[in-house]
Structure 1
């Protein structure tokens, strides 16, 4: 579902202006909701009565404007960016149907590899003591620089396939290549619209927010940048992100309360709205959502700058008391400020997953290590791991859609689909340890116990790039051998049981035994109460 609704209290963040306009404004919140769908999705007419089920395009609509935004973001000529998307992913669609009914079945215990794919079209039996309809755990996802609500559809879709409802934000803080804000009928015209219209008195239907380059310091995200980051801008952007995260949570609360029709009526992503499907939210069975999402134990997930926002959420416990665990992929730690007091220290379970390219960035690696240490000192388990052969975009759809770019220019060695698999497997293993059972994803969880591995004593530096390319790419001296060996080693290990020190994952930090034991005891006690995943209706 694609949802954009006006916020209750529109406001600005910081005094920063460009062309006389506040740069950072909160007017609406835009999310894509990924969720497990009911049997029959994709067959016959869709819930809105249309003969053909529809799917969202990966490149957000209007695609021309979005492609031009990517041109500005990347420094390419806008026409060249449009041409690139036109010949590559202009018509690519996300493999998920719009507005399908929410699943009402528990997954079977068998998996498709051993029992065949048809097993997935059969309902499983509810666990003992549980309701006939599962209640799905909630994830809120925050994207990184250059991202959008669709740029991580592979991750979000995988989580949804394991029984999560995932609310993926599209931030309006100037970190995406381009996002369009719809105005309600009473909205005021943007400066950009008034400048380009013959009638300045005409109210604009929407306004455009492009990527904001810090003034006089456009490369503040680069490692080793002598000017450092634009602290004022990044702090204000984090403030806006946290407000959007809270708005997204309140939105899903309204739906979970049984008032989804109110959301549908306020939705701006419908016929007549910019970037909207003509179907909007037609056909959504809102009654089927009542009490079906666990809104009391939310997992916060973020990539890069979104991971920094995730840490800020964990620091502000009073405002985000409903976040009970977090996953951070390739955190960009530079915008983070140290906790001002002990009350701000992270005290919920944390999983940090790095790409190999980001692990070599020493200053950033120290930041993420300190976060894990801080969490452990507060009595919550934390893990830090690296997926080998990966780069920063390996956590997103970009490596899936543009594998040759990732391979040739960024020297990514690991197969993109395998990188996503390892991210998901580690994340599910983490959640299985820290969330009380039973949860729907436990029923279909199959992985290789990634988090059981022991931490490295010393970080290998075989693929460490030169300083000027730090965090951007890997270094392959013998490129052909570097690309063939990982795949060959996996096959030998699978077929012949050959052990190799060259694992796909490096562990750097694991919780002490006593920390993990105490937490697992807490999880077991919560499970015994049988309330953690009971039918939840928000207040």
Structure 2
């Protein structure tokens, strides 16, 4: 037990209990796969979902890290395969007195749908429905889709993580992925539009969440896009491809893959919540360019944070976490709970402003101007580029 580890995810702090479920729509690669976070009815006996649900994801994480599968994947499985998140699995959806706003969430490079459960659950506890997509552009560490005719047994086809091919420039490879990701986000929004209109949308996973319970409970006039790293720039582009996104929240966005020709098309308000030790001067210049086009676009930096501070990985504890931290730099000097609090409070204040919500999230408005403990406005200090 010398390498004992734990996942110390906080319970969501909002007034709603939070349920989560996996949703797969369609039986082709062009379908959608996401983890849904939503306000749910209290259920004392509800199961807690696994944090990393399948062995294939451990193998994918090893591939992303460039390690050998034969020893690294079993080690990760032994350390993390039993970790569960403090949410209610497939619990009954809780209809609200008013419709819930919707957030589509896009994961970072080498991540997948379950690695941002702390952020997504906190937003759901505040009265949002959040769909965390698992992208199929080979930027996820691993993902899959199911094939087979209705009534037949499902057959899984796995999509591995893809590196930049030899001889191909990284920008062109990542830019192609970026556009696929933004298109998937737009299709995610359309899916919820279809559900809201009463269209039957089967969830092909066995014994899975029934999407029809969402009909009449989501406010499709209050829709935002959010993401981390590669997902942050995906959120920016998605506002161009799908005008129904009212605004975007970009967590430590990796701006590199977005072509300059698209910048004049970005017109929706953006909130960049950056970490202290990731951004480069070039990336900051790109954010400033977008800020110059829209006075409602904001950029703040959380001091004492690193690139992984907004993912669940930062909440790993124990001696194994110390080993992982040496490889990924999972934790900065600021307490992870404080980073989560600043991230979600700033996002909520921004969403209230641009989704016209009748909540008390405006109490955190000063964060949007970089006013508060451990937050500054405009530019990260760029002490290192990790």
Give the structure-1-normalised TM-score: 0.61
Identify the residue that residue 5 of structure 1 maps to in structure 2.
Answer: 25
Matched, 1:151 2:115: yes
Instruction: Determine the structure 2 residue equivalent to 1:373.
Output: 292
CA contact (8 A) 1:135 1:291 kept: yes
Q: Give the match for residue 269 of structure 1.
A: 205
User: 1:372 touches 1:382 (CA, 8 Å); kept in 2?
Assistant: yes
Q: Which residue of 2 aligns with 1:400?
A: 315
Q: CA RMSD in A?
A: 2.8
* 8 Å Cα contact 1:334-1:364 kept in structure 2: yes
Instruction: Give yes or no for contact 1:315–1:339 (8 Å, CA) kept in 2.
Output: no
Q: Which residue of 1 aligns with 2:14?
A: none
Q: Which ranges of structure 2 fall in alignment gaps of 5 or more residues?
A: 1-20
| Structure 2 residue aligned with 1:333 | 255
Deviation of 1:297 (Å): 2.5
Name the counterpart of 1:55. Answer: 48
What aligned pairs does 1:515-534 form with structure 2 within 5 A after superposition? none
How many residue pairs get aligned? The number is 357
What does residue 70 of structure 2 align with?
79
Q: Indicate if the aligned counterparts of 1:68 and 1:79 stay in contact, CA closer than 8 A.
A: no
> 2 CA distance for matches of 1:74 and 1:406?
11
Gaps of 5+ in 1: 11-25, 44-51, 106-132, 188-202, 218-226, 271-278, 473-539
Paired residue secondary structure (1:213)? coil
> Residues 479-498 of structure 1: CA distance to partner in whole angstroms, max 9, x if unpaired?
xxxxxxxxxxxxxxxxxxxx
Deviation at 1:407, TM superposition (A): 5.5
Distance apart, 1:414 and its partner CA: 1.0
> For the residues of structure 1 that align with 2:235 and 2:263, how far apart are their CA atoms?
18
- Once the two structures are TM-superposed, the CA of residue 300 in structure 1 deviates from its matched residue by 0.7
Q: Tell me the CA shift for residue 349 of structure 1.
A: 1.6
Structure 2 counterpart of 1:35: 38
Q: What whole-Å deviation, never above 9, does each CA across 1:191-230 have from its counterpart, x for those lacking one?
A: xxxxxxxxxxxx981211111111126xxxxxxxxx9x52
Whether contact under 8 Å (1:67, 1:85) holds in the other structure is yes
- Residues 255 and 286 of structure 1 are in contact (CA less than 8 Å); yes or no, is this contact kept in structure 2? yes
**Partners of 1:460 and 1:139 in 2: CA distance:** 26
For residues 329 and 71 of structure 1, the distance between their equivalents in structure 2, rounded to whole angstroms, comes to 24
Give how far 1:53 is off: 2.5
User: For the residues of structure 2 that align with 1:77 and 1:241, how far apart are their CA atoms?
Assistant: 28
2:302 maps to 1:387: yes
Contact 1:307 1:331 in 2 (8 A): yes
**Cα distance between partner residues in 2 of 1:204 and 1:443:** 45
Counterpart-to-counterpart distance in 2, 1:431 and 1:234: 28
Say yes or no: does 1:68 pair with 2:68. no
Match of 1:252 in 2: 192
Tell me if structure 2 keeps the 8 A contact 1:6–1:184.
Answer: no
Q: Deviations over 1:87-112 (max 9, x none)?
A: 3321111222122222235xxxxxxx
Q: Structure 1 residues 340, 453: closer, same or farther in 2, change over 3 A? A: closer
Partner of 2:267: 347
Post-superposition CA distance 1:235-267 (Å, at most 9, x none)? 2212221232122122222332344xx32xx32
TM-score by length of 2: 0.84
CA contact (8 A) 1:143 1:170 kept: yes
